[in-house]
Amino acid sequence: MHPVAGVRLGTACAGIKEAARRDLVIIALEPGSVCTAVFTRNLFCAAPVTVARDHLNRTVPRYLLINTGNANAGTGIRGEADALACCQKLAEIAACPTEAVLPFSTGVISELLAVDRIQAALPAAWAALVPAGWEDAAHGIMTTDTVPKGASTTVKIDGETVTVTGISKGAGMIRPDMATLLAFIATDAALDQKLLQHCLQAAVDRTFNRITVDGDTSTNDACVLISTGGSSLPPISEANDPRYPPLVAAVCEVCEQLAQAIVRDGEGASKFITIEVNGGREEQECLKIAYAIAHSPLVKTAFFASDPNWGRILAAVGRAGVDDLDIDALTLHLDELCLVRRGGRATEYREEAGQAVMDREEITIRVELNRGSAQTRIWTCDLSYDYIRINAEYRT
């Protein structure tokens, strides 16, 4: 991953849940950097979400403090005090206001944060701060992830090279309602706060808000976008600036890679599934149908079994809540194979062809509604034995 001028990352072992594992990360931003974020819409949000929102409204952040192994959610007033105590300790080390530190946590819900362990490990994470710390940080924010998740790209804008790099974590409890479990993206382009927020929302809407593993929206979701201004490209301050679209495209590219990596690493997942719904009257009805398919346990288990039981997909479409849907106008494809036409099985469909598609590791479900021009695309995965095992044993 390409370093981003103006960003340093340090990772340490605090022993929050497991001894001798990387579980604490500091991201340091150079003065002049701008930061924005979107957070979970789950009303039962974690203490660090509450504190981070408050700090972000008060001042320009200089440091992000991330721990894994404990979500600090469902901990009430004590949880907020614990999150603040960790921010205060880092602020002492960094000689900055407490409000300049944004806390983020992920892990087990309802257990008190190991404040003493985090505070004791902060000097080591501080000493480890380096521009090339992205890969270690990607490891340091993992929970049930089986692999670290990072993405990076560069783009030429007006002859200047601009970098966008990001990391994320997530494998289960994934149905973002703003972002993903945790994601941190930085660019060395210079944007003002308002435009940076516009850029982040555009990227999130197209990527992190289009993935689902199990339909559960986490209490701790947060996605942060940082602009350091460390490149030679002059600042961008207007959305109609011709230099802005290629930057948004680069941010979206990184976010899409991170979002898809989460689905591919879905707990126990063996198949990566793209769901496309086209020809709707509005995007919202396309999304209703796409998520009805993606969240159906019967559909997800059929894909795990590589069983071309496409009647389960049709059943999900029919119960999606689009009440005036004309089933006879609908067509359904798995990759290049047409399964359904005019409300029934396509005359050319053969079971062996359906089986050949279902045996693939990456499959696209395409639903054509033929009632308008709206369309959408989301990504999901299958549901396996391992998903049950991993979540049943999560606290043991």
CA 264 to CA 40: how far, in whole Å? 22
- Token digits of residue 366: 């395409």
Pairing state between β 24-29 and 344-345: unpaired
CA 223 to CA 348: how far, in whole Å? 46
Strand ranges for 242-388 from DSSP E: 272-280, 331-334, 337-341, 344-345, 362-368, 374-381
* Amino acid at residue number 137: A
Q: Give DSSP secondary structure letters for 131-165.
A: TTTHHHHHHHT-SS-SS-EEEEEEEEETTEEEEEE
If phi > 0 it is left, if psi is from -120 to 50 it is alpha, else beta; for residue 269 that is: beta
CA 204 to CA 199: how far, in whole Å? 9
Whether residue 374 contacts residue 283, with contact meaning beta carbons closer than 8 Å, is answered with yes
Q: Is 180 one of the catalytic residues?
A: yes
Q: Measuring CA to CA, which residue among 148, 159, 197, 201 is closest to residue 34? A: 197
CA 310 to CA 270: how far, in whole Å? 18
Q: Which of 75, 180, 219, 274 is catalytic?
A: 180
Q: Measuring CA to CA, which residue among 227, 244, 169, 234 is closest to residue 193? A: 227
Active site amino acids = 180
